[in-house]
């Protein structure tokens, strides 16, 4: 019997306990390990829980119990999750987590402690919820050079954009519905401002390229600026708008990494991933494109990934699994201003004819985009590929001639 502790009894934590207790026989058959949840750490009272006798408010109960070999940290946030995780690893316990914020900000340090202590720190649930992605990248695709990873990594924003695209619902109304349905984080800024997706692409980038890519290195834009007009233009252009987390390795060895809304062609494998679903495309040099699709959030999908990590730890109590990256620094990432891609531009001008002519002069080869029911003074176009710095200079010139720029949205190559 292997004793396990669960830290945090929220949505994911209660799912983890439920999955372990209800699937004991199946877990035993598949892994030759019998698991028991010995402690559940939470500051709240759960007197009516069938597991009431397992609850503790004292972290030391877990830390000082040598019988506890694996700890699931599903508290979320950096503090106190970081201190608890570090203490458990230093005490020789393996830790598994769904906490993307902690892995994205402290991953290198915690993985190093796990290495020194010959224990595991696993985090399959931190990206894509129930979708297997960490293990496939680290193991199944290990023979590849990963050329690029691009994903719809946040279910809440995907739900909002899907409502805007399919039902013509405004951003504000779609967010309200997402909150009512319990999809959004308690503070929806983490979702709609792109921070949650940023943490996830940082974890995937660190895993693929072996150095810690911290969220502050990543240009991050959410979906709060996306309007129904933009959605309509994307449709006329031949695609949809999705919030994409993307990382690719450039020829000079630096990473082009970003989180931002993008125009995606309808033929892309990511274009049809709707509602709260997540989809992650991994472009390997040997495999070509491999796409992972499924529920990126929710109690049982996320718990499924956490419990799979617990089982993996139990099977590797003596021989550590190799999941590791070194610390990293900002020089690993190409400055956003120097990255190169085309954009969609939406603008308004009282003299639309002159403004469109000026845009065509500034952006040779630009392609106009026309949508039904556009306002009289509105026009839009797609630029050619250029650096962000060059494009911004040209847009400043366009503005100086009396044009108001309403939207600038990246065109994806996916
Ligand atoms: N708020 C997150 C999302 C939860 O919407 O995807 C899962 O990480």
| DSSP code per residue over 85-100 | HHHHHHTT-EEEE--H
Strand segments, DSSP code E, in 191-339 are: 219-220, 239-249, 255-265, 277-284, 288-295
pLDDT computed for residue 258 by the predictor? 98
Q: Catalytic annotation on 358?
A: no
Locate the ligand 1 atom nearest the alpha carbon of residue 302 and give its number.
7
- Among candidate residues 93, 106, 163, 200, the one labeled active-site is 200
pLDDT computed for residue 22 by the predictor? 92
Locate the ligand 1 atom nearest the alpha carbon of residue 297 and give its number.
7
User: Would you identify the CATH topology of the domain 2-130+299-325?
Assistant: Rossmann fold (3.40.50)
User: Would you identify the CATH topology of the domain 134-295?
Assistant: Dihydrodipicolinate Reductase; domain 2 (3.30.360)
Distance 23 CA to ligand 1 centre (A): 25
pLDDT computed for residue 250 by the predictor? 97
Phi first, then psi: what are they for 383, rounded to 5°? -80, 170
User: Would you identify the CATH topology of the domain 339-411?
Assistant: Alpha-Beta Plaits (3.30.70)
Which residues in the chain land under pLDDT 50? none
pLDDT computed for residue 186 by the predictor? 65
Q: How far apart, in whole angstroms, are the C-alpha atoms of residue 386 and residue 390?
A: 7
For ligand 1, residues with CB inside 6 Å are 129, 154-156, 183, 185, 191, 196, 296-297
pLDDT computed for residue 318 by the predictor? 83
Dihedral sign for Cα atoms in the order 258, 263, 268, 270: positive
Each domain of the chain, given as residue ranges in start order, spans 2-130+299-325, 134-295, 339-411
Q: How far apart, in whole angstroms, are the C-alpha atoms of residue 343 and residue 382?
A: 6
- CA–CA distances in Å: residue 127 to residues 97, 201, 218, 324: 10, 8, 17, 16
The token pair at 215 is 């969220």
């Amino acid at each position: 019997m292997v004793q396990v502790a669960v830290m945090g009894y929220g949505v994911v934590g209660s799912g983890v306990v439920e999955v372990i207790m209800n699937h004991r026989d199946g877990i035993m058959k598949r892994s030759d390990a019998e698991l028991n949840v010995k402690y559940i750490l939470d500051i709240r009272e759960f007197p009516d829980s069938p597991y009431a006798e397992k609850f503790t408010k004292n972290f030391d109960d877990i830390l000082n119990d040598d019988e506890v070999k694996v700890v699931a940290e599903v508290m979320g946030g950096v503090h106190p999750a970081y201190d608890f995780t570090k203490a458990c690893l230093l005490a020789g316990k393996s830790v598994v987590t769904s906490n993307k914020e902690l892995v994205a900000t402290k991953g290198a340090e915690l993985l190093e402690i796990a290495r020194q202590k010959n224990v595991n720190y696993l985090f399959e649930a931190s990206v894509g919820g129930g979708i297997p992605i960490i293990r496939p990248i680290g193991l199944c695709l290990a023979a590849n050079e990963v050329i690029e990873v691009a994903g719809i990594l946040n279910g809440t924003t995907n739900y909002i954009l899907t409502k805007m695209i399919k039902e013509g619902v405004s951003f504000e109304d779609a967010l309200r519905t997402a909150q009512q349905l319990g999809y959004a984080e308690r503070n929806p800024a983490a979702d709609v401002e792109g921070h949650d997706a940023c943490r996830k692409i940082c974890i995937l980038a660190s895993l693929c390229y072996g150095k810690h890519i911290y969220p502050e290195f990543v240009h991050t834009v959410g979906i709060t600026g996306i309007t129904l007009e933009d959605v309509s233009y994307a449709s006329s252009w031949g695609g949809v708008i999705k919030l994409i987390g993307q990382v690719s390795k450039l020829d000079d060895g630096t990473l082009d990494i970003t989180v931002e809304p993008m125009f995606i062609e309808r033929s892309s494998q990511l274009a049809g991933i709707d509602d709260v679903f997540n989809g992650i495309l991994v472009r390997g040099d040997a495999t070509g494109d491999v796409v992972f699709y499924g529920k990126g959030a929710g109690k049982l999908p996320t718990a499924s990934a956490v419990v799979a990590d617990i089982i993996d730890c139990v099977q590797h109590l003596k021989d550590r699994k190799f999941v590791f990256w070194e610390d990293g620094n900002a020089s690993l990432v190409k400055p956003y201003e120097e990255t190169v891609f085309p954009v969609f531009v939406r603008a308004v001008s009282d003299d639309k004819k002159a403004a469109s002519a000026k845009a065509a002069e500034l952006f040779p080869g630009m392609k106009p985009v026309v949508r039904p029911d556009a306002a009289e003074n509105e026009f839009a176009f797609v630029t050619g590929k250029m650096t962000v710095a060059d494009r911004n200079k040209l847009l400043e010139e366009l503005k100086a001639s009396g044009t108001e720029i309403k939207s600038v949205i990246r065109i994806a190559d996916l």
